[in-house]
A and B are shown apart, each in its own frame.
Chain A
Amino acid sequence: QKEVEQNSGPLSVPEGAIASLNCTYSDRGSQSFFWYRQYSGKSPELIMSIYSNGDKEDGRFTAQLNKASQYVSLLIRDSQPSDSATYLCAVNIGSGNTGKLIFGQGTTLQVKP
């Protein structure tokens, strides 16, 4: 079982719709979770971080965390063509925050005008 799993997609949504990206992780001791966006040929950029169960909203983005189910998701409201990118879920693996950030394989999002 991979430590961090995502559906590689592509996930295609029309402009203005809600895009829902999902991620599961294997280490129950993990305490911090991140969503990164990566455009082709570029390095990842941080979109959201979440540490507690529940929802965290920032503009059009909402991260959701459920530690019992070992599940973290990202919702993008009012999707724009500029949101088209690969979204990487990253988890700090291990208790006590060892600092190792492990990535899922990424979900490619396509927002069609």
Chain B
Amino acid sequence: GAVVSQHPSRVICKSGTSVKIECRSLDFQATTMFWYRQFPKQSLMLMATSNEGSKATYEQGVEKDKFLINHASLTLSTLTVTSAHPEDSSFYICSASLFTGFYGYTFGSGTRLTVV
């Protein structure tokens, strides 16, 4: 089945630094990947839709200059949290689908970001 690899699984960084999270589709090509954020006891909130070869589409309220998304190939999308602050501490999860819409979306294992 479709496998999505995400790393790092955990990262602790100092306030003001940037962190890059990678999301790879291992056995299929994903033209579209999605980035979610999940705060404790809350659901997954869609941050942005990442399309290969074009600019990401951000959801309302998500700062595109703070959360930089690059989808340079059909198997790799990256999310960079720039100038991280403690309030950015969260669980970040990527997902991808072989065919968007009608098929279940496979999720990466998630990245626990802690900003100190």
Contacts and interface: CB of A to CB of B under 8 A. Distances in A.
Contacts of B43: 88, 103-106
The listed residue with most A CB atoms (<10 A of its CB), out of B43, B46, B102, B103, is B43
Contacts of A46: 104-106
Interface of A: 31-32, 34, 41-46, 49, 51, 88, 90, 92, 96-106
Given A101-B95, A101-B105, A103-B43, A42 B110 contact: yes
Contact of A31 (B36, B101, B112): B101
- Say which size band chain B's interface belongs to: 20 to 34
Nearest to B94: A43
Contacts of A100: 34, 46, 49
Contacts of B110: 42-43
A51 B101 CA distance: 10
B59 to A, nearest CB: 9
A34 B46 contact: no
Interface in B53-70: none
